[in-house]
């Protein structure tokens, strides 16, 4: 009886040892937390205004659209999409590109599988100006927005100007003041609960983009965004200027400046509806300068 008991115990311990080894092998083969794959594409975010020929040439070069593939222009931010497409295409066509096509999405086309497939596989997608809220109302939460993100993650270039720049971030400035219904191109005050943010495309998770920045003195609204949303950077891009985003880094391209605000201490104070903060950081970048978007 004693030998049988000993043999059973030894067999049980052997099974436990084998199970432990198997468990360790599983842990090695399957990490506890899966890393989200990095985006392999790039963004070319233009602050509006005129686009110098050298800037359009860089879009062509960086996207490699001149080596094959095709480009798609999405003019839904404009109240006149046909006109928007014509002028957006014109600059590329003048530099010899012919493989440029228009797509317009609305409630009847956001699930068109053929259009979505071409959107996923375009080498370059370009979003002209207009009203960023109008653009997002056409695509937010739809398969078209998913196809744009898929394109970016898989190596495509997403470019945009003015409204097409504002939609790049996850949190998007609409331009609307919640306390002042009459539109002004910049905020007149630094006020609490005045800034309207809506869902953007989410190509950049930790920043808010503002455009026409220096020309239209849009400091008040971007400062408001940074004080009320301290976990993100505020990037103000001036006209005829852009940032080229690759691998979490931004490089300034063009004629003017890029202004970057951050609120590292998450400082915020209010009095009678007005905003205050301490220790905000302001950086001003010129063409060729680079900065990190991850911190």
147 shares a domain with 28 = no
The verdict on 134 and 13 lying in the same domain is no
Claim to verify: residue 12 and residue 143 sit in the same structural domain? no
**Each residue of 33-54: pLDDT tens digit?**
444 446 689 999 999 999 999 9
48 and 31 assigned to the same domain: no
Query: Domain of 220: which CATH number?
Result: 3.40.50.880
pTM metric for this prediction = 0.85
**HSE (CB half, 13 Å, CA atoms) of 82?**
0
**110 in the same domain as 8:** no
Give the C-alpha separation, 30 to 32, whole Å. 6
Please check whether residues 210 and 167 belong to one and the same domain: yes
| Whether residues 228 and 280 fall in one domain | yes
Mean pLDDT, range 115-137, rounded to an integer:
96
Residue range of the domain that includes 199: 40-292
How far CA 114 is from CA of 15, 68, 119, 124, 144, in Å, comes to 55, 20, 9, 17, 11
Length of the chain: 295
Tokens of 226: 């940074």
Measure the CA dihedral 162/157/133/255, to 10°.
-10
| Total number of domains constituting the chain | 2
Summarised one tens digit per residue, pLDDT across range 169-208 is 999 999 888 998 887 778 888 999 999 999 999 999 999 9
Same domain, 89 and 9: no
């Amino acid at each position: 009886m004693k030998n049988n008991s000993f043999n059973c115990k030894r067999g049980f311990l052997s099974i436990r040892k084998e199970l432990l080894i198997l468990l360790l092998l599983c842990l090695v083969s399957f990490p506890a937390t899966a890393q989200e794959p990095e985006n392999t594409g790039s963004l070319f975010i233009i602050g509006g205004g005129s686009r110098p020929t050298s800037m359009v040439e860089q879009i062509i070069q960086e996207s490699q659209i001149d080596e094959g593939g095709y480009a798609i222009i999405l003019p839904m931010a404009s109240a006149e999409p046909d006109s928007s497409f014509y002028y957006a295409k014109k600059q590329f066509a003048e530099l010899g590109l012919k493989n440029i096509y228009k797509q317009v999405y609305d409630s009847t086309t956001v699930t068109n599988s053929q259009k979505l497939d071409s959107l996923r596989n375009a080498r370059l997608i370009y979003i002209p100006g207009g009203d960023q809220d109008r653009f997002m109302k056409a695509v937010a939460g739809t398969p078209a927005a998913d196809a744009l993100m898929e394109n970016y993650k898989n190596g495509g270039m997403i470019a945009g100007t003015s409204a097409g720049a504002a939609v790049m971030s996850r949190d998007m400035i609409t331009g609307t003041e919640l306390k002042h219904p009459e539109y002004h191109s910049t905020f007149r005050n630094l006020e609490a609960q005045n800034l309207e943010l809506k869902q953007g495309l989410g190509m950049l998770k930790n920043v808010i983009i503002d455009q026409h920045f220096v020309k239209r003195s849009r400091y008040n609204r971007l400062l408001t965004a940074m004080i009320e949303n301290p976990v993100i950077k505020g990037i103000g891009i001036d006209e005829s200027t852009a940032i080229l985003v690759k691998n979490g880094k931004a490089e300034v391209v063009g004629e003017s400046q890029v202004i970057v605000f951050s609120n590292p201490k998450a400082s915020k104070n209010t009095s009678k509806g007005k905003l205050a903060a301490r220790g905000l950081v302001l950086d001003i970048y010129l063409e060729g300068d680079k900065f990190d978007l991850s911190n």
